[in-house]
Amino acid sequence: MTQSTDEFRRETRVAIDAVKRALAIARRGIGAGDITAKGGRDLVTVTDVAVEDAVRGIAADALGFSVIGEERGGEASVSRSGAEAQRHDLTNDVLTSCCCLRT
């Protein structure tokens, strides 16, 4: 039985949607064979970047959040506290969820 998301905060609903969309991208695996070495044993695929880009776009469009990600980087604001810190945590959680769900 799937729980309704109606009672969740808007940010949580957006995060759930972002995970679903990113998971669909990861499952298609387009570009999964296009691997680039970032250094040492750290690798990135076109699929990895596409997933991060999708989450960034969803968070920015729906919530106005910026994302600090593994592949594209980003910058945190100098004084992150309160809602800004929560936004950063939320978007990092979405990216982490995508990675965990696809492996």
Residue 6 has pLDDT above 60, yes or no: yes
Angstrom distance (rounded) from CA 6 to CA 99:
25
Q: Cα dist. 40→32, 46, 52 in Å?
A: 19, 18, 21
- pLDDT for 101 equals 46
Nearest to 59 by CA among 92, 27, 30: 92
Residue 35 has pLDDT above 80, yes or no: yes
pLDDT (tens digit per residue) in 58-74: 988 998 877 777 888 77
Q: By CB neighbour count within 10 A (0-12 exposed, 13-18 middle, 19+ buried), where does 31 fall?
A: middle
- pLDDT for 42 equals 86
Q: Please, which pLDDT band fits residue 83 given cuts at 50, 70 and 90? A: low
Q: How much of the chain exceeds pLDDT 90, in percent?
A: 10
Read off the pTM. Answer: 0.69
Angstrom distance (rounded) from CA 12 to CA 8:
6
